[in-house]
Amino acid sequence: FRLNAAMHIEKLRTKLLPWVQATFPNQEVVLQHDGAPIHTAKSTHNFSSESIPFWGKK
């Protein structure tokens, strides 16, 4: 089973973000991706830049 960028974004949106917000309220959090294709996809970068307040914008 291989994840694609759309599936990765869905997991970020429905699982990771709610968990981070519930577990670390009002705390600074750093999310770091490696160089996997689903992490470097333009759609993932766009979603992360627009939807994840703790995502590096670079």
Amino acid in position 8: H
pTM, whole model, 2 decimals? 0.81
pLDDT score for 56: 58
CB 54 within 8 A of CB 28: yes
- What whole-number distance in Å separates Cα of residue 7 and Cα of residue 13? 10
CB 12 within 8 A of CB 50: no
Residue pLDDT tens, the chain, 58 long:
899 999 999 999 999 999 999 999 989 888 888 999 999 999 999 998 888 876 655 5
Q: Tens digit of pLDDT for each residue in 7-21? A: 999 999 999 999 999
pLDDT score for 29: 85
